[in-house]
Structure formats: structure tokens, C-alpha cells
């Protein structure tokens, strides 16, 4: 699972956190965390099929992710895209191999 969080400090800081929930537990354990500014590319892998897999390319890291469902991946992409548009003024990440419905019908 994953979390996209934004602080309420000024200026706001946004981060992406990868968390894991172990079987039989209700709590999550933080695995890795990146600042939103480090995100370079979001790769949906295959825009022609609903799959939960995707890749995130950061400044100094490549990370493979799997959402619980394809729908959860879609929701995460929508939130991530909106967060990037709102909080990143300079270099915004590239969204590739994503279904057009993720960005409100725009083909990307």
C-alpha cells in the first residue's frame, strides 16, 4: 500500500510513502519514503489492461509497486497527479503508459 501525504507547514512538503500491512495485523509499517520533488516518472506499465502493477522512478531510485487492485492504482494515480500539479512548480514527473481515465480523460 502507499500514502501520499502533505504537511501543513509553510511551504507545504509532499511525500510518497510505501507501507506494508502484515497478515493478521491492522497496522502498517513504513518501508520507504521519498519527497514528491524526487519523483521523475510514473509508469502505468500497460494502458490497455487493468492491472495493479506500476513503477515509480525517483531521482536516485527505481521502485516496482503493486496496488491491492487496479482501481486502487487508478485512484492513487489521480491523487498523485493532482498533488504534483498543486505542489510542484518546477519539474513535474512524466506519467507514461497510463489509462486516459486516470487524468480526467486526457490522453497521456
CATH number reported for the structural domain that contains residue 86 in this entry: 2.30.29.90
Domain that holds residue 75: 2-98
**What band does 2 get if pLDDT is binned at 50, 70 and 90?**
low
pTM for the whole structure: 0.81
Q: How many domains does the chain have?
A: 1
Contact (Cβ atoms closer than 8 angstroms) between residue 17 and residue 80: no
**6 found inside a domain:** yes
Q: What is the pLDDT of residues 56-70, one digit of tens each?
A: 999 989 999 988 899
**106 found inside a domain:** no
Phi-psi region of 74 (alpha: psi -120 to 50; beta: other; left: phi over 0): alpha
Give pLDDT, residue 101.
Answer: 67
Give pLDDT, residue 3.
Answer: 63
Contact (Cβ atoms closer than 8 angstroms) between residue 73 and residue 98: no
**17 found inside a domain:** yes
Q: What is the pLDDT of residues 6-41, one digit of tens each?
A: 766 767 788 998 888 888 888 888 888 999 999 999
**104 found inside a domain:** no
Amino acid at each position: 500500500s502507499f500514502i501520499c501525504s502533505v504537511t501543513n507547514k509553510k511551504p507545504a512538503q509532499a511525500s510518497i510513502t510505501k507501507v506494508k500491512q502484515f497478515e493478521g495485523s491492522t497496522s502498517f509499517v513504513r518501508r520507504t519514503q521519498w519527497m514528491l520533488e524526487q519523483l521523475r516518472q510514473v509508469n502505468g506499465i500497460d494502458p490497455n489492461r487493468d492491472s495493479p502493477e506500476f513503477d515509480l522512478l525517483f531521482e536516485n531510485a527505481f521502485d516496482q509497486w503493486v496496488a491491492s487492485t487496479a482501481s486502487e492504482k487508478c485512484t492513487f494515480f489521480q491523487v498523485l497527479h493532482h498533488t504534483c500539479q498543486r505542489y510542484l512548480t518546477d519539474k513535474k514527473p512524466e506519467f507514461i503508459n497510463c489509462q486516459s481515465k486516470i487524468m480526467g480523460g486526457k490522453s497521456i
